[in-house]
Amino acid sequence: MNYGHQTNSPWTGMVPVEDTALAVTDTGGTGTPVIYLNGSYADQKHWRRVIADLGPGWRHITYDERARGRSRRSADYSFEACVRDVSAVLAARGVVRPVLVGWSYGAVVGVHWASRNPDRALGVVPADGAYPYDLFDGGRMTRDEVRRLFRRMRWAFPVARRLGLAARMSADQHAEVNIELNEVVAEIKAVLDDLTVPVRWVVASGGNLGGDAEEMAEQRANLGPVLARNPNIKVSATVSSNHSKLLSKDFRAIANAVREVAAVGRGSR
């Protein structure tokens, strides 16, 4: 199995990409590589419990997206830039076929990247994200309402940044990232249908700050038809924690989904 260049040495540093640089941590080793993709405004530290559960037999690669964590600002915070960054980090670290694990926004990035690069991905673990859902359909919310919401929340950004839950962006930039994400997931069915690598979802329960219980249940229910159409996609676990608490409370379910994907991916090659 070719996973690219193997290094036994842990590495932490900055990877230059376009007009920015990304803060990357690579544990090294000869195990199966796993690249972790963060939530919209989150940083890499949220994965520590998943990484600890999987242990040192894997090669763990985490990084902060543009303007998140320790990464530098950019002129481009688009979804496409985030997809390109996956390739840039993997190339910089010499990794060819990782398992991609993504939470929330990162789940969307992960399935898009794997759909476009099926021969370069061992599989994907979406953690409560990438559900087909159109927030702007049927009057649920408008784009201007999203912008007003983030402007009202801007007082909380300094505190949220210290918690790894906000970017070094303006309120309007935060809003545009959110708006574009909703536009991407509204069109994601075709991407999910095209996936040829093993995908194992971890589905959370209940509501959270970004969506009440009813809205989140509707999003998660939209996964059903996808499962029926694409046999490569399965639910590994449905857990009791909500979207916000998933990585801290049900990290074992995510780690088990990584093990499952890696086993299936290795067996299919």
pLDDT digits 0-9 by tens, 22-77:
999 999 999 999 999 999 999 999 999 999 999 999 999 999 999 999 999 999 99
pLDDT digits 0-9 by tens, 98-134:
999 999 999 999 999 999 999 999 999 999 999 999 9
Do residues 192 and 130 lie in contact, with contact meaning Cβ atoms separated by under 8 Å? yes
SS3 content of the chain, % helix, strand, coil (to 5): 45, 20, 35
Do residues 107 and 82 lie in contact, with contact meaning Cβ atoms separated by under 8 Å? no
Determine how β-strand 123-127 pairs with β-strand 199-203: parallel
3-state secondary structure of 38: coil
Q: Is residue 175 part of a domain?
A: no
Q: Is residue 228 part of a domain?
A: yes
Do residues 240 and 246 lie in contact, with contact meaning Cβ atoms separated by under 8 Å? no
Total structural domains within the chain: 1
Alpha-carbon span 39 to 18, nearest angstrom: 21
Range of the domain at 92: 11-132+188-263
3-state secondary structure of 144: helix
Q: Which residues contact 47 (CB under 8 A, 6 or more apart)?
A: 36, 38, 60, 62, 101, 247
CATH for 116: 3.40.50.1820
- Helix ranges (H only) for the chain are 48-54, 79-93, 105-116, 143-152, 157-162, 171-186, 189-194, 213-221, 223-229, 246-249, 251-267
Q: Is residue 234 part of a domain?
A: yes
Share of the chain above pLDDT 70, in %: 96
Residue-level pLDDT at 258: 98
Q: pLDDT at residue 5 above 70?
A: no
Q: Is residue 221 part of a domain?
A: yes
Do residues 43 and 52 lie in contact, with contact meaning Cβ atoms separated by under 8 Å? no
Residue-level pLDDT at 45: 96
Cα of first residue to Cα of last residue in the chain, in angstroms, is 8
Q: Is residue 147 part of a domain?
A: no
Q: Is residue 246 part of a domain?
A: yes
- pLDDT band for position 210 (50/70/90)? confident
Residue-level pLDDT at 208: 84
Q: pLDDT at residue 2 above 60?
A: no
Q: Is residue 6 part of a domain?
A: no
Q: Is residue 152 part of a domain?
A: no
β-strand partners of 197:
none
